[in-house]
Structure 1
Amino acid sequence: MKAIPCHLMRGGTSKGLYFLASSLPEDTSLRDQVLLAAMGSPDDRQIDGVGGAHPLTSKVAVVSPSTRDDADVDYLFLQVVVDKAVVSDGQNCGNILAGVGPFAIEQGLIDAQEGTTSVRIHMVNTGGLAVAQVEVKDGAPVYEGDARIDGVPGTAAPVLIDFLDVAGASCGALFPTGNAKDVIDGVDVTCIDNGMPVVLLNAADFGLTGDESPAEIEKNTGVKERIESIRLQAGRQMNLGDVSDKTVPKMSLISAPVRGGLLNTRTFIPHRVHDAIGVLGSVSVATACVVDGSIAYGYLKGCSDYSRLEIEHPTGSFTVAMDVEGSGSLSTLKINRSALLRTARLLMRGEVLVADSAFSAPGKQ
């Protein structure tokens, strides 16, 4: 057995292992084998690893000193698929991102400033830049506090995250099809990428009210098959190629708000239904709301204050703040800044034990 130093952390509404890049094999195939073994994939229960048997608890952050002059650390997000021998780097994760700043301070990758430390994070998956504000006391991250986010019990110290220039990070353009609205399989959709490729669909077009539980929707085979068909076609139109084995784009069903927010969502990630909504997914949904012609524009109802856009999800809501120029017009829209509040907590630090065979070259175990 080999012991690999790592931290187990909750970031936002997700949970995963945080590694220094230097602790993992440089070879990508070997690295992925090691992470599959660490998490216990492929297995529905991940019983022989530390994964939590759900996409939201089978995630990995790989952190290192940044290769960019405008960032402090590089952050590579990896999704370890639960029931397949697949490790995907095809997307960012804004929830796991919330733990990167505290982890970098814990590991001494940056000099912590008493009070609040700004950590500039290069998101390697898409090349975007985020700035996390981390509370610090006596040189260490503060995890306890009064901030509360839906989908996580209790409270914790706030981590404010600013996303800078992430529009089109994965697809090459904020609206990669060139349209605010497209029609796929006879269904009106909006394809958008403001840090996360997302396809918005009206829940009513699938015979849903939009407030069904994730479990109810997952049992609806007909809906799932229709949405997957649209996802595969949208992937190509969004410059993502064949997405049959990719975790993007996310598919977000939208409907009228039920708790006073801007609109309600149910998001496929991409085959399970999220118990909440991804950080960058919520940013993309909120952005679609400010563009005339998108299927979400009607929910804005003339609102011109974008400092608090509440995106509802199955376990609460997500507050997104945006600095927008030229709202209402696809041709003039410019997103200067997207910001939101997350929390993070260190759950365990130590070593994950992995069988020696995981370090053998592929096919030679």
Structure 2
Amino acid sequence: MSDPTRPRRAQRRVPAVWMRGGTSKGVFFHAADLPADAAERDALLLRALGSPDPYGQQIDGLGGATSSTSKVVLIAPSERPDCDVDYHFGHVSITDPVIDYSGNCGNLTAAVGPFAIEEGLVHAQEGMTEVRIWQANIGKRIIARVPVRDGEPVVDGDFRLDGVPWPGAAVELSFLDPGGSAEAPLLPTGRACEQIEVPGVGVLAVSLINAGNPTVFVRAADLGLDGRAQRATIDGDPALLDRLERIRAHCAVRMGLGETPEAVSRARPATPKLAWVAPAADYRDSTGASVPATRCDLLARILSMGRLHHAFTGTGAVALAVAAALPGTLVNALTPWPGGHGVRHVRIGHPAGVLEVGAEVVPADAGWTAHRAIMRRSARRLMEGRVLVPW
């Protein structure tokens, strides 16, 4: 209970850690340090990141004014016997008072294990520490294998991740049973590919996949694109962005994730993701470096919170890898595979370079099931202390 005789501070001080995971950054909190009331909690988180900001800069908060840097993570000890920590992810809108909890962030998942170890939630095992994570947004288990030295997560190493300028230590993530969720099965409509009519756009072939996060895949050529586009080209075309959002919102309704396209656009900006794919080809990444077609199996671009992601989302990569292993999908058509057992790896050519991710898809009574997906990311604690929030 607060002391009524103590002078009221102008700002509330909340313990927090700023972390990079993969190609994203987010502010990590212990759930117990936040208000128990969800509305009060979200109001505090929005203010901490500087949202909503009509100028789009999050200048009065910790958000970085991009979809990759406007994120929060809530961590708590897990009550599940098969998990160590519960991980809740929130994608914070920059311009609107909205935190979307409908999906996971695969990139920041890489930072959950190191955070849990450094915060004493998981006992460090020298060499390699396994952290069992319950992803509360989508109700899935994830195993993170974190390299440890002298009781602390290792941050230096020779693992390079395109989109991150310095090498680091690889954190291996195993997404267990990543296909499907409480909202929708692996194939929400039961079809690997189908035609959907979007008002103002026309009829498009789409593959609707629910793995990692719900994701809509379309062919780049059907959008008038070639798969090589960079952020300036896509984000600088308001008419194209509007068309892409129409497609995303209508497909969300088709997937059973919203009542109307308008409701999806308003309240569910984070998921489903929309990605477009194209055959492998030579291109230049965002640094101007040449990426030969031989380095990747296909080209792909993905939207995040209405803008082109500067690399490729982690959960989008999981969905793409699952789709690549599923016969009949648009992704599978670009990366033909004779099938078989084990993890199938696919190399994704994205704006910042190439990302490799693997998935194992096996036949099931009702069609197919995704057994697991595997990828590697690096992560690092950037700052620790207290977030100050006017309150």
What residue identity is the alignment partner of 1:224?
L
Structure 2 residue 44 is matched with structure 1 residue 27: no
Equivalent residue runs for 1:274-313 within 5 Å: 274-302=309-337, 304=339, 306-313=343-350
Structure 2 residue 180 is matched with structure 1 residue 168: yes
Secondary structure of 1:234 counterpart:
helix
Structure 2 residue 167 is matched with structure 1 residue 146: no
Structure 2 residue 389 is matched with structure 1 residue 354: yes
Structure 2 residue 198 is matched with structure 1 residue 179: no
> What is the aligned partner in structure 2 of residue 11 from structure 1?
21
Which of residues 359, 369, 390 is equivalent to 1:322?
Answer: 359
Q: Give the Cα separation in 1 of the matches to 2:163 and 2:319.
A: 19
Percent identity reads 41
**How far has the Cα of 1:303 moved from its partner?**
5.5
> What is the aligned partner in structure 2 of residue 47 from structure 1?
59
> What is the aligned partner in structure 2 of residue 190 from structure 1?
207
**How far has the Cα of 1:170 moved from its partner?**
5.5
Out of 108-117 and 170-179, give the one that drifted further: 170-179
Q: Give the Cα separation in 1 of the matches to 2:318 and 2:338.
A: 17
Structure 2 residue 110 is matched with structure 1 residue 98: yes
Q: Give the Cα separation in 1 of the matches to 2:249 and 2:360.
A: 32
**How far has the Cα of 1:306 moved from its partner?**
4.3
In structure 1, list runs of 5 or more residues that go unmatched. 357-365
> What is the aligned partner in structure 2 of residue 224 from structure 1?
241
What residue identity is the alignment partner of 1:240?
L
Structure 2 residue 151 is matched with structure 1 residue 114: no
> What is the aligned partner in structure 1 of residue 301 from structure 2?
266
Structure 2 residue 276 is matched with structure 1 residue 253: yes
TM-score, normalised to structure 1, is 0.93
Write out per-residue CA displacement over residues 290-339 of structure 1, whole angstroms, 9 at most, x where no aligned residue.
Answer: 2222112222233558443111211012111223324xx99543322110
Query: Are the aligned partners of 1:170 and 1:197 in contact in 2 as well (CA < 8 Å)?
Result: no
**How far has the Cα of 1:73 moved from its partner?**
0.2
Secondary structure of 1:308 counterpart:
strand
Aligned-residue RMSD, C-alpha: 1.6
What residue identity is the alignment partner of 1:178?
G
Q: Give the Cα separation in 1 of the matches to 2:353 and 2:338.
A: 21
Which of residues 78, 83, 86 is equivalent to 2:90?
Answer: 78
Q: Give the Cα separation in 1 of the matches to 2:246 and 2:356.
A: 30
Aligned length: 354
TM-score, normalised to structure 2, is 0.87
Write out per-residue CA displacement over residues 91-115 of structure 1, whole angstroms, 9 at most, x where no aligned residue.
Answer: 1011111111110111111111111
Q: Give the Cα separation in 2 of the matches to 1:291 and 1:323.
A: 10
Secondary structure of 1:121 counterpart:
strand
> What is the aligned partner in structure 2 of residue 243 from structure 1?
264
Out of 47-56 and 239-248, give the one that drifted further: 239-248
**How far has the Cα of 1:144 moved from its partner?**
1.3
In structure 2, list runs of 5 or more residues that go unmatched. 1-10, 198-202, 282-292
Out of 307-316 and 121-130, give the one that drifted further: 307-316
